[in-house]
Amino acid sequence: MKAILVTFDQAHYNKVIDALQRSNCRGFTAWEHVLGQGSVSGEPHFGSHAWPSMASAIISIVEDHRVDEVLGKLRAIDLDRPKLGLRAFVWAIESAI
Amino acid sequence: MSLYSGAVKRPVMTTLCFVAVVIMGLFSLSTLPIDLIPDIETNTLMVMTSYPGASAQDIEQNVTRPLENTLNSVEHLKHITSQSRENISVITLEFEYGNDIDVITNDVRDKLDMVESSLPDDADNPIIFKFSTDMIPVILISAQASESMPGLYKILDENVANPLARVEGVGTVSVMGAPKREIHVYVDPDKLEAYSLTVEQISQVIGAENRNIPGGTFDMGSNTYSLRAQGEFDDVQEMAELVVANRGGSPIYLKDVAVIDDSVEERAQKTYTDGQQGAMIVVQKQSGANSVEISKAVAKMLPSLQKRLPSDVKLGIIVDTSDNIRNTIASLTETVLYALLFVVIVVFLFLGRWRATLIISITIPISLIASFIYLAITGNSLNIISLSALSISIGMVVDDAIVVLENVTTHIERGSDPKQAAVHGTNEVAISVVASTLTLIAVFFPLTLVSGMTGVLFRQLGWMVTIMMIISTVCALSLTPMLCSQLLRRNPNHGKIYKIFYTPIEKALDKFDDGYAGLVGWVTTHRWLTVIICLAIFVGSIFLMKGVGTEFFPTQDNSRLGITLETHIGTRTERTDSITLALYEEWKESYPEIKVFNYTTGQASSDNAWASLQDNGSHIVSMNITLVDPSDRKRGITEIAEQMREDLKRYPAFEKVQVNVGGSRNGSMGGQSIIDFEIYGYDFTQTDSVAANLKRVLQGIPGTADITVSRSDYQPEYQVVFDREKLRLYGLDLATAATYLRNRVNGATASRFREDGEEYDIKVMYSPEYRQEVEDIEKILIYNSAGQAVRLGDIAYVGPFDTPPTIERKDRERIITVSTVVQDRPMGDVVKDAQAEIDKMELPQGIAIQVAGSYEDQQDSFRDLLMLGVLIIILVYIVMAAQFESYTYPAIIMTSLMFAFSGIFIILFLTGHTLNIMSMIGAIMLIGIVVKNGIVLIDYITLNRERGMAVRTAVVNGCKSRLRPVVMTTLTTILGMVPMALGSGEGSEMWRPMGVAVIGGLTFSTILTLLFVPVLYCLFARNGIKRERRKHAKMLNAQKN
């Protein structure tokens, strides 16, 4: 099992959920409004007067073999709208109940 | 769920909600009546008290003064004026606008009850009379006649006045200028004397003969019959055969001593229309009825009424007040539509996308249409004020929609889907949209709180704009995002035509941006120079203010002239008629602009309510002139009036002349301004000489015309003074002797002649040729109870006297008013010159001169509006300070107001308009509009700084990127006003100054704001940074130590 944390401009929300569903990843946890900025480029998402846009975050624990498929779909979304920003991070789950 | 995400998620519901609003709005629109100005509730009450037999002075002392002293304590009283003349006291109470007149009437009644017991015993109870605008006639109809002239009154009364009175909403219909039928028995005094007969005996005989008397009933066989003595005349000439006496056994017939003349009243008003005699039919409306509806119904009825009249009687319309209303509203509606078109074009040029333009075009009308619902609910009408409010708002309601649209577009361009972009884009700007609406509401809402006449007019403007702004904000936060989510596309494909058409515009706009950025770069490096130049311009424009005149309301060209001419008091009607005819002939030639020329001369009979309210008398001529529409003639109405005044100088017979633009002198709106100089003082001769002096002085001041003195001349009359001792000697009393006199000159009403259900007076009097000289009067024979005769000349003296004129008072002091019309010159200048001359005059002690009239109204309104301006500036500052969470930024933005006012002065100076109520309202509106530009700039500059830019970079960058929105919103407002400022339709004189003021102020302030605000920002920001640095250095030093 792997955990995928996806952080993205909130405009992507529906697309990211859609990508997970299409890859047969049913479970996820989402934070609709989170703040943050990229390490290299892209506009900060602070929800402030200067940077009004907001980000969302979704974490989904998926089977190992689904990770590549999900990441592929997410990459496609990001490439389609590069200015909005979307990043995904994967790490291993040691145990679960 | 927020408003906008809800709207985006439920497009059907959102659409239908707004469709419902539009349907309700359009339905309301269809029910709205049309009027010129909002309904103004009457603020005047009249208290009339008659005291038969008392002179003007007695009336003043015993009736007017006690009443005034008591009535003065009624609440909300503004002025109390009174007229005391022989037999009657008329007190006029003027109250502050905006109070319930019914409550006030009750208060006045209570006060009158209190004072009644202290009035003289013979004085009648005071009567309260409510004056209202409903008394102004809606429509004046002329009837020209030739052969039918003698019977015209009856013809018109039956065939025109009665049917018209049945029209819904019509109050009274009165016929003027057509004399009523009267049967005169003209006796020959010499013959009467020979037969020792009197007028009284003859009238008694006529009265006794012209009778039908029921004789009861009697039974004949098996039936009962009623019995009647039938004596009423069937024909007037029957009277000639009446036996009036028997002398020496032979009967004396009426025809032996008198001539029977079946004709019309001797003294009556004569009305001429386009040179032909006829009559005038005055139609007044019921209280609260709509003039436009009435005039429509009346005009529709006229052709059918015409058919019922004899062929020589022609009906025509002299004045139709609703014409002006209809034309004014039509030209204002056109203005609103043009404004709408211009705004849509600007939006398209700047946004460059038809879908975006479509969204804006959908949202503007919704806010406007929704405001009709408010008008319908509150019972208001479609009038100048409400339509001006629409015109003003068009430029402003787009702003909110544009801000939302722009941000959503940015989101879409960054890659969001339209739906997501609509929600998130709106969310980001929602607060600033609400804040900018609040600034505008801070400007317009206080307008609803103004008191006085100005308040009555502008309350509606305030409410309308406030409501439209609120609706446009709701629209911008719900309908606009919904439409964006549905209509906008991520990658719009532009067609070839679009590219050919729009590429040059795009390039030009880019160049404009770059040029401006360069300029901002330059001014921010030459900060002090810029500040000095800008301030110099502001100070310079203040000096221009001296060259801008002030007035109350602009004069409106409604194609109506009302002229009142007076020949010397006591001039015979025939003489007045012949001079007037000459004047008519001349004017008909020299003024081809005249459409209808109607005039009335002579004394009105007392049973004609409308006519007796007007000034009338044998020496007074009143004219109603209707000109062709303003667009069909070259000369304006004021020019024509001025020329007519010049012409009248060549008729010295007319001693008093009033040429009133707009029809009447008292209308405070639309006509030429009137300045009243009120001379307070008790002594008649002193105040008279001051008034004459003042009149002479005023004549020397340019810009004055038609100067009149309110106190009329001493009226010459012949008085019969009886010698009481001689009366007693002959066994007579004064009342008997005076009745003899009256019956011979004025006539004794003997009986009534009945024909076709109508009754006509039969009057017995001396033949006209026997009552033309003083000697004729002196020869009158008076009989005592013993039948002995004495000539009036033996027991009385008949001689000329002057009766003192009416005593006028205002605020419990005697007053004479010298009034002048202001012509071709701003009112403020005339008053200034007059004041300087008055200061030079040496006034007797106890006499004071005060300026009133339109000038007083103007001063009151200007004071109200200035107070309002200050209040609005404070409110706007509060809203901005709250939005920016800073005291400095709003102050910087407020500086753009200076340039707005400079712009107003400059444009008024250049175009020659005056500073009046309308341009002041324009200036007040500007407060809200101008600061919006500043807000947009400062908001974006601070945003740039928060994003980490240096001060100057933030300023140059921010200014460059906000240039287009600023220019676009400014252009939409300016172009929305252009049709108002350039309009040439009827009534456009009213709103032109407002349009001009807004355009001038906004253009000038936008140009300077775009340069001055960034510079000021730089200065303040730099100071802030320096302060921070000093603080930091101190802290470092402290740490070191």
| pLDDT tens-place string over residues B818-866 | 888 888 788 888 888 888 888 888 888 888 888 887 888 888 888 888 8
A52 and B416 within 8 Å at the Cβ level: the answer is no
Residue A6 in any domain: the answer is: no
Band (pLDDT 50/70/90 cuts) for residue B669 is low
Which SS3 state, helix, strand or coil, does residue B275 take? coil
CA distance B421 to chain A (A): 7
Those of residues 31-90 in A touching chain B at CB distance below 8 A are: 48-54, 80-84
CA distance B428 to chain A (A): 6
pLDDT of the residue at B664: 67
Across residues B109-117, what is the average pLDDT? 88
A84 and B947 within 8 Å at the Cβ level: the answer is no
Q: How many CB pairs under 8 A join A and B?
A: 36
| Nearest of B640, B618, B617, B608 to residue B627 by alpha carbon | B640
Residue of A nearest to B944 (CA): A50
pLDDT of the residue at B611: 52
Which chain B positions have a beta carbon within 8 Å of A11's beta carbon?
411, 414-417, 420-421, 424
CA distance A12 to chain B (A): 7
Residue of B nearest to A13 (CA): B420
| Nearest of B507, B408, B511 to residue B960 by alpha carbon | B511
Which SS3 state, helix, strand or coil, does residue B900 take? helix
Which chain A positions have a beta carbon within 8 Å of B416's beta carbon?
9, 11, 81, 84
Mean pLDDT computed over every residue of chain B = 85
Q: Sheet harboring A29-34: ordered strands across?
A: A29-34, A55-62, A2-9, A86-92
User: CA Rg, chain A, in Å?
Assistant: 13
| Nearest of B664, B647, B660, B655 to residue B619 by alpha carbon | B655
- The more confidently predicted of residues B573 and B902 is B902
Q: Strand B314-320 and strand B139-144: pairing?
A: antiparallel
B415 and A83 within 8 Å at the Cβ level: the answer is yes
Q: Give the single-character DSSP code of B238.
A: G
CA distance B946 to chain A (A): 6
Which SS3 state, helix, strand or coil, does residue B825 take? coil
Residue of B nearest to A12 (CA): B416
pLDDT of the residue at B457: 73
Residue A2 in any domain: the answer is: no
User: What does the alpha-carbon distance between residue B703 and residue B144 come to, in Å, rounded to a whole number?
Assistant: 39
Name the percent of chain B lying above pLDDT 70: 97
A80 and B415 within 8 Å at the Cβ level: the answer is yes
Say yes or no to pLDDT of B340 above 90: no
Residue A52 in any domain: the answer is: yes
User: What does the alpha-carbon distance between residue B84 and residue B90 come to, in Å, rounded to a whole number?
Assistant: 6
Q: Strand B258-264 and strand B560-566: pairing?
A: unpaired
pLDDT of the residue at B22: 94
Say yes or no to pLDDT of B389 above 80: yes
The parent domain of residue A20 ranges over: 11-37+44-60+67-82
Which chain A positions have a beta carbon within 8 Å of B426's beta carbon?
none
B943 and A82 within 8 Å at the Cβ level: the answer is no
* Category of B592 on φ-ψ map: left (φ > 0), alpha (ψ -120 to 50) or beta: alpha
| Nearest of B149, B252, B190 to residue B767 by alpha carbon | B190
Residues 6+ apart with CB under 8 A from B872: B442, B443, B446, B924, B927, B928
Residues 6+ apart with CB under 8 A from B613: B135
Which chain A positions have a beta carbon within 8 Å of B946's beta carbon?
48-50
Residue B264 pairs in a beta bridge with: B181
Which chain A positions have a beta carbon within 8 Å of B432's beta carbon?
none
H-type alpha helices, B378-451: 384-414, 418-444
User: What does the alpha-carbon distance between residue B107 and residue B71 come to, in Å, rounded to a whole number?
Assistant: 9
Task: Tell me the backbone φ, ψ of residue B162, rounded to 5 degrees.
Answer: -65, -50
The two tokens of residue B956 are 């140059």
CA distance A13 to chain B (A): 9
A84 and B943 within 8 Å at the Cβ level: the answer is no
CA distance A81 to chain B (A): 5
Residue of A nearest to B422 (CA): A11
Burial B688-701 (b: 16+ CB within 10 A, else e): bebbebbbebbeeb
CA distance A73 to chain B (A): 17
Per the listing, tokens 């400095």 go with B888
User: What does the alpha-carbon distance between residue B84 and residue B67 come to, in Å, rounded to a whole number?
Assistant: 12
- CB count within 10 Å of CB B304 equals 9
Q: ipTM of this model?
A: 0.84
Interface test mutation site (partner A, options B428, B431, B935, B957, max chain A beta carbons within 10 A)? B428
- Looking from the CA of B264 toward its CB, the CA atoms found within 13 Å total 16
Cα B488-B491-B492 angle, rounded to 5 deg: 65
| Nearest of B563, B606, B608, B601 to residue B272 by alpha carbon | B601
Residue A73 in any domain: the answer is: yes
Residue A56 in any domain: the answer is: yes
- The more confidently predicted of residues B333 and A61 is A61
pLDDT of the residue at B478: 94
Across residues B769-797, what is the average pLDDT? 85
Q: Give the single-character DSSP code of A60.
A: E
CB-closest option in A14, A53, A83 to B424: A53
| Nearest of B59, B53, B137, B48 to residue B91 by alpha carbon | B48
Q: Which of B122-136, B382-396, B469-483 has the highest mean pLDDT?
A: B469-483
User: What does the alpha-carbon distance between residue B628 and residue B936 come to, in Å, rounded to a whole number?
Assistant: 49
User: What does the alpha-carbon distance between residue B810 and residue B310 come to, in Å, rounded to a whole number?
Assistant: 51
Q: Give the single-character DSSP code of B492.
A: P
Distances (CA, A) of B179 to B281, B316, B652: 13, 19, 30
Say yes or no to pLDDT of B601 above 60: yes
Which SS3 state, helix, strand or coil, does residue B722 take? strand
Residue of A nearest to B417 (CA): A11
**Listed range (A66-75, B350-359, B533-542) with the worst mean pLDDT:** B350-359
Instruction: Enter the pTM of the model.
Output: 0.80
Residue A21 in any domain: the answer is: yes
Distances (CA, A) of B443 to B434, B437, B463, B868: 14, 10, 11, 9
CB-closest option in A50, A52, A83 to B414: A83
Residue A18 in any domain: the answer is: yes
User: What does the alpha-carbon distance between residue B624 and residue B494 come to, in Å, rounded to a whole number?
Assistant: 63
Which chain A positions have a beta carbon within 8 Å of B417's beta carbon?
11, 14
Residue A94 in any domain: the answer is: no
Longest dimension (CA), chain B: 149
Across residues B662-685, what is the average pLDDT? 76
> Is the CA virtual torsion B506, B511, B514, B515 positive or negative?
negative
CA distance A77 to chain B (A): 10
Which SS3 state, helix, strand or coil, does residue A59 take? strand
pLDDT of the residue at B668: 47
Interface test mutation site (partner A, options B2, B407, B424, B935, max chain A beta carbons within 10 A)? B424
Which chain B positions have a beta carbon within 8 Å of A14's beta carbon?
417, 420
Number of structural domains, chain A?
A: 1
pLDDT of the residue at B133: 65
Across residues B622-644, what is the average pLDDT? 85
Residue of B nearest to A79 (CA): B415
Interface test mutation site (partner A, options B484, B947, B961, max chain A beta carbons within 10 A)? B947
pLDDT digits (tens, 9 = 90+) for A3-60: 999 999 988 999 999 999 999 999 999 999 999 998 888 889 998 888 888 899 999 9
